[in-house]
Structure 1
Amino acid sequence: MYTFTIFLSLWARILIPFLFPDAAAVNANAPAPPVEEILVDQVRWSPDRRLSWDDFKALPDEENAHHALTAANLAVNARCLDSGFTYQVSCVFLPTQSWTKNTKSKKLLKHEQLHFDLTEVHARQLRKKLELFSCADVKSKLSGTVTSAFAQWKAEQDAFDTACKHGLNAKEERLWAADIAQRLQELEAYK
């Protein structure tokens, strides 16, 4: 199972300067903090760092029929500074919001890892889109692009769980795993 969380502070950092350009609280010349500073107690996606059950720190939802929940997110930080558009998109796993009822199942852990890998696919797709932006585009395009990226990400996560029956359909899950691996490779330049 999968859930996603929008980092409102990051989202607000993107939208407030454009929705309220005269807002006193926004210092357009101040450098944006790196996403790494904001992402405390979170696991950034890496091809060398796979999830383990020790990463799932939340208490299981006993009323939930599923055996695990992966909470992941796309952390987005974008701004214009000195007429240059800069951005960071990070794929992160949220340990304190992720849980499991079964710490023995390697098959279940692999399914949850695929949710995280699929989130990285969408992070790379968003980086690819944002690479084409300039400060002139930001007011008219940024919000819609990010909103669309989040909607596509959520829809594909739901499609993955539906097709794989939350990890019970091994054949379908192998197809998805191969597709996710191929897409990660195709988007390697946006890692």
Structure 2
Amino acid sequence: MKWIFVACFLVSNVLLGQKIFWEEGNKLNWNNFKSKINRKGGDNVVAYTNCGWIYSYEKSSNPKAPIKIEVQTVFNEDKSWKDTKRINDYVLLHEQKHFDAAEIFARKLRKEISEKIKTSSDFDKYFKGIYSKILRQYQDFQRAYDGETKNGMVEEKQSEYNRIIAEELENYKSYKTS
């Protein structure tokens, strides 16, 4: 018997809100930021990107059976906000990099899964630990990104992160979805 399970980083956002799946070459635009609520608060916040991953898997009750796991990066339009009086292309680039960073860590998650999880038994043993580890790394990266760039306002740091994010997307390109 196969079990199909769908979980997500932000279940209600994905199931109830509109979402955009990360695709190479497709960029966010200000129309994608549909929330009327500033979820971050603070006067220095010009926009907020709500993104993460969803994953699904097909698993057999046979512990030796192969397992199929899919991980996708999503942007949640209904939870992403902008201050229409202060937005510009530079801020949009900063927000795009949050989405791109989510894709980097989705690729890292796909890599770990492909290396360590081959069967239903492997999934039971390793998935939660792998997921938790990558999630912590992702959250730490996002915090550092906003902190060091001061939400994109420190141009030198923003340029540095733009380079880092582009390099990491390239480094993990073999783990992108087709």
TM-score by length of 1: 0.77
Q: Which runs of 5+ in 1 are unaligned?
A: 1-27
Residue 78 of structure 1: how far off its partner (Å): 2.8
Residue type of the partner of 1:134?
Answer: K
Are the counterparts in 1 of residues 17 and 77 from structure 2 also a CA contact under 8 Å?
no
Does residue 76 (structure 1) correspond to residue 61 (structure 2)? The answer is no
Mind listing any 5+ residue stretches in structure 2 that lack a counterpart? Answer: 9-13
Q: How does 1:122-137 map to 2 (within 5 A)?
A: 122-132=105-115, 133-135=117-119, 136-137=121-122
Structure 2 equivalent of residue 95 of structure 1: 77
Q: 2:23 corresponds to which residue?
A: 46
Q: Distance in 1 between matches of 2:47 and 2:88?
A: 10
Normalised to the residue count of structure 2, the TM-score between the two structures is 0.83
Corresponding letter in the other structure for 2:98: H
Count of aligned residue pairs for this structure pair:
163
Q: Distance in 1 between matches of 2:17 and 2:89?
A: 27
Cα deviation, residue 46, structure 1? 1.1
Aligned-partner residue type, residue 91 of structure 1: T
- 2:77 partner amino acid: P
Q: 1:95 to 1:167 in 2, by over 3 A?
A: same
Q: Which moved more, 1:171-180 or 1:81-90?
A: 81-90
8 Å contact kept, 1:121–1:184: yes
Residue 42 of structure 2 corresponds to residue 64 of structure 1? yes
Q: Distance in 2 between matches of 1:40 and 1:96?
A: 5
1:174 to 146, 159, 170: 159
Letter paired with 2:136: A
Deviation of residue 61 (structure 1)?
Answer: 2.2
Contact 1:60 1:101 in 2 (8 A): no
Question: Separation in 1 of the partners of 2:153 and 2:87?
Answer: 16
Deviates more, 1:133-142 or 1:169-178: 133-142
Same amino acid, percent of matched pairs? 24
